[in-house]
Every structure is written in structure tokens, then in C-alpha cells.
Structure 1
Amino acid sequence: MDYKLCYNIEATGHSGGIWVLIATSCSATTSEFASHPHAISFTVVEGSKNWVCTAFYAKPRVELRQWVWAHLRELGGQITLPWLVLGDFNEILLSTESRGGRFSLARASQFLEVLNDCNFLDMGAKGLRFTWYRNQPGVMLAKRLDRAVCNVAWQAMIPEAYVENLCRVYSDHCPLLLRLDGSREKNQERPFRFQAAWATHKGFERIVKEAWCRSTPTLANGLQAIRTDAIKFNK
């Protein structure tokens, strides 16, 4: 398959850099929406679907990352279309997204605030649990630094979309593969997965309580009721 380069930001040394390519056979059209030294945002139009995609790279240095967070918040105030952001956020939300090293609750809270301010949902991922690996003396560090997030409008527009964390080859990061059609799962029931973003929504606790109280008082029935209502809540 042939590709053409649409937009790019060159790397600094061995870090950063963003290339946006599109297959020559693709029927979608793109136009640049906004540019930043660490993010490229562009509109995608294909048939009746019209949305914004942001290819993203956050600085590994914490003090410089605030500049990139500010850009996301600024975009959040401008974008009214369905919106998807994917790339290397260089940050984690939960202690379970890290193996080895220290977990910073303060930094995770700042990251969560950014996602909340932009009304983002974490899309989760299939495949590998972590997306970044590095050997340190006596320990292998691993973190989920790369992810895709979207607003509710984007998820409602393409509900079958999901992300796969693929195996890394040359980089210490794993590639992310975003599948829009969910073709692997059209003929089978999708497994239920709890989304961490639900717990940050002020209305989700009520969903859980009402589902639990409505069900026959056994653990299995309670969890099944919560599963059903959580899926409706997610939509």
C-alpha cells in the first residue's frame, strides 16, 4: 500500500517527531486544523463523518509538559466536532499502568484534570498491558505512556472503534493500532471492560448503586446488573 505524507513535525534528536500519512487509496480528505511543536490537529471528512484528529507527543520533562497540556485545553475550547487524540502522553493515570519506578499521584491528578477539562474518555486497549519498556539495573520498567482518548461525540459516531497495543520492534514504545470498524468483533459479543474514566464521572456512583439495589441480592446478579447499566451509561 502506498502512502503520502500530509503533515509532519521533525524529531529533536531521538525524541519527539510526528508524521501523519494517508493511504493513497483512502477516500477520506484531511485539512490542517491547528499546529503546535508537539501536536498536529487535522479534520477528517469521509462520507457523512466529519471529525478532528490530533496526533500528540508530550514532553518527557514534567515542567515542559504543562505547555502541551495548555495546548490541549485551548483546543478543547475551540473544537465542537467529534475529537480523537492519540499518541505518547508520557504520563499515566493509575498505579496499575506502571511496573517498576515510582507512581506520582500529583502528576496523575494533573493528567486526569486535563482529560476532564477536554471531556475525554480513555479508549482503553487490547494486547500488551504497557506501551513503553526500558531496562534499568536490576529491573525492567514498563508503563502505559501511549493511548487514544476521545470525546463522547467521537465515541458515539464510531462506537465499534478500539485500540490495540502492538509489539515493539525498534523503539522502546509499542505502536498503537486504532481500528475504526471493529471488524474482528462484529460476529461475536464484545467482552465487558470497566473504563477507568467512568469512575471520574459524578453520576456513575448512582448508576452502580441503583443497579445493585435493583438486582436479586447475589454477587453474580449484582455484577450483571451493573454491567448492563454501565454499557448504557457509556453510550
Structure 2
Amino acid sequence: ANDLGIDNIARFMGEFGFGTRTGIDVEGEAAGVLPSPEWKVKRFKTPEQQRWYAGETISIGIGQGYNAYTPLQLALAVATLANDGVMYRPHFVSYIENPKTGERSHVEPQAVKTIPLKERNLEVIKLAMAGVNKEGTSAGAFAGASYTSAGKTGTAQVVALKQAEKYVEANVTEQLRDHALFIAFAPVESPKIALAVLVENAGFGARAAAPIARKALDYYLLGKRSDKPAEPARAREQGR
């Protein structure tokens, strides 16, 4: 993150729709926050508050700090990645039905733009995300899957810790515990679905969010439906 610099990070993430409304056909969508030096100047009043610090760039690089994105933005970004840089406007419904005539008007896919991504870079990212589900932090949640998938686990802090303070979930009240996140697309070789899962105050993404994604993908790709809640998966200790 430090090598890239905050300006390059903000510009590239902005290409994927972070910090702007996706244009979904539902009222009240939030734009989220894509931090940058320009954003900070507008957000704060005093020169000291407006100054961008090097440590903030590091925090942004691991998804912490001022970052604030919606699950829809996460899903749109991973879908764009799966589509090799082609971004589609998301829609809440696939068709609209006239209540009087029963006539259906289908919502056609609408490509918004194409992000110019190098093929070799796409391949590296996709292989890395496939490895996350195959042998990485979410391998437990996707064990035995009959399809290939690519994912990334995430854990978002709700409250900041002091420099020498260690996070112990059992010692933190539930509403202040970390949020669990997971993004994925499948199948890897020919993507048909992309999603983002957020479970508030549930801890590691691998443990709480990835199992929910597995059930959703099983249903969409295989038609497997279960009324049983997704059980927490055993996450590797180094995984978040």
C-alpha cells in the first residue's frame, strides 16, 4: 500500500465502483466512503485533521481505517473482476410484470464500462482467490464442493484497539465485535454468480460468512436447498 500510494489506490478502487452509487433500481442507496486526501480535506475542518498521514495509507491497504463500502459495492467489484473488467449495472429484479395484463418486461443486462485490466494480472488474482477456497482460509467451508470457486475472507474491526491491546472476542460485548465478510464468484472457469456476504459482529469471515456463501452457491449452481442455518466453519488460525 505504501509503495502504491493513496492516490493510485483511490483511483483504482474508484474504477471498481467503490465510493459511488452503483445505480441499482432501488431508492436510498448509499455511496459509501472511498478515502483519499481530497476526501479528507472535504470531510474535516482543521488543517491537522485534513492532513493525510502515511499510516492511514497502510490501514486503507488492509481494508481498515476510513473505508466504508456496501455489500452491493463488494459484490459488484467481484462480479466485475469475474467478468474480466466488464462492469454491469446491478438490478433488483429480472423482470417487471404489469399487474393488469400480466405482461412481463425483462430487464436486460447493461454494461456500464470496461476497466482495462491486464490478462496476466487477472489470472494472478483469480488463481489466488481460487486458492483461498481450495487450500486457504475458506477451504473448510468449501470442502467437497463439486464446482470451482474463488473467494476472499475478510474481518472488519468495529472499534479501534490501543497500540498494545490484543483483541479477545470473548472479552468484547457482541455489538462491538468484528464483522465477518466474504466475497466470491463461481465457477472459476466460467463465472455465473458473484456475491458478497456480511455477518455483523460474527468474527472471522472464514468462520461465519464463508459457510453462508457456500450454501448460496450450492443453491444457485446445484439447486441444493437446505432450511438448516449455515454452521460456522473451522477457520485456519492465520485466516481472517
By the TM > 0.5 criterion, same fold?
Answer: no
Name the one with the larger strand percent: 1
Relative contact order, higher structure (CA 8 A, sep 6+): 2
TM-score computed with the length of structure 2 as normaliser: 0.29
TM-score computed with the length of structure 1 as normaliser: 0.29
